Structure 1
């Protein structure tokens, strides 16, 4: 399988290295917005200078690990030539983009990596059976690990200045995705798996807390048949190691490779 990688940050470099070490995979191309980042880190034969020329590399799978804007600009075009693994699924919170992707996915499919979304397959099965009643994901990180925009910037900066544990957002996932597009991909993946609830009814909460240090803590609460007090309820807590300032935890890298290999 020939794989093209769009984005060459820490995760993109990790994926490129993983592909080059395997005999059953082939690196079709690597593209990055800042070309200088690629120099000396990957053989020049793999570097794609203009993303508009991606089809010339004949990739079987294109993996996006750059920014949600890539899906908005190129997602439907990618799907005309290859399968597409979306590493920034917050892009799909935009109804128009989701519709474009689904309409374009005729001969090829688009997929969401597991990432830090623990229990995603079980939640999807519950949704398929009509048994999923509610879902909430809470993410707690050091305030410097949140890359946010809009109204959340002031809250994040205040948390940095005061050191106080601060709830930056608590509510439906859809409005949150464009405010923290690089931080809440786990929540976007959850909203897609929990398709009977979707972006408007899956709940998300992001908390800035300097005391967590070099960890990203992801809590997933799932409710099934019955009321919230006496019905089915599962809560998982995942502690993902991550240096302060990083938006992606270390364990997510291996999970992403697993998703890629499982296609």
Structure 2
């Protein structure tokens, strides 16, 4: 079996890390890299640079990885799913109900699958199994970070900027509404909403907390409820510097997701 060819969309911190990981991995081969700002790709060999995502098919990727922005899936998701397995690093895009329906339909009917990285979601496979059985009754995801680690929109950003010494709850409610105002920070919650498909973006609850004391960690708490009082609560502490949007362990976890993407064929999968 030959190497798995990987196309990468986005060349920020995570995109750079993935590019170097793919180049160094014995089972992977870099097909292309695209970035909204082409000048940042000058350090790469010219043969890897994709200047237009409409031409991504010419690079013959087996898996296309998005680590740029939710708008990529909105604009190009269906096109990319027609070319290769698609690993969506910004699943907050799926809070758009119509987009989720279109991409699910494309992934289920076509040759390639839609893959979502588990990222900071601990127990995602178990959540999906409960959803498959219809035994998942409730799911709440709480994310706590230093205020400078949030990239928010509108009033939520103003509230976050005003946080001083004490922890402040920025949001508590449905995941769907939060995805629109925190698209870079709550991909874990979006992945949870997809895994918990019997609850979805409207049934999964979200809580976002800005805590100035969290100078070394991102914290994700997952609370699962099932029949007869069944409950599981987990807390994941990911080392992260002040101001970092992505925790340290998430980088290596994403490489594992790249290796797993495509193995389950078409359909929608957490990996």
Q: Does 1:117 align with 2:115?
A: no
CA distance in 2, matches of 1:75, 1:113: 16
The CA deviation at 1:142 is 0.4
Question: Structure 2: which 5+ runs fail to align?
Answer: 262-271
Runs of 4+ aligned residues of structure 1 deviating over 3 Å after TM superposition are: none
Q: Show CA shifts across 1:201-226 (max 9, x none).
A: 10000000010112100000111112
Q: Which residue of 2 aligns with 1:158?
A: 162
Mapping of 1:88-107 within 5 angstroms?
Answer: 88-105=90-107, 106-107=110-111
- 1:3-41 CA-to-partner distances (Å, cap 9, x unmatched) read 10000111111111111112221100001111122222x
**1:214-252 C-alpha deviation (Å, 9 max, x unpaired):** 2100000111112xxxx1111110111111111111111
* 1:253 aligned to which of 246, 251, 254: 251
- Whole-Å Cα distance in 2 between the matches of residues 57 and 31 of structure 1? 11
2:23 maps to what in 1?
20
**TM score, norm. by length of structure 1:** 0.95
**Cα distance in structure 1, aligned partners of 2:91 and 2:27:** 27
**Structure with more relative contact order (C-alpha pairs < 8 Å, separation 6 or more):** 2
User: Secondary structure of the residue that 1:147 maps to in structure 2?
Assistant: coil
Q: How far 1:129 moved relative to its partner? A: 1.3
Stretches of structure 1 lacking an aligned partner (at least 5 in a row): none
Q: Which residue of 2 aligns with 1:30?
A: 33
Question: 2:87 matched to which residue of 1?
Answer: 85
Q: How many residues align?
A: 256
TM-score by length of 2: 0.92
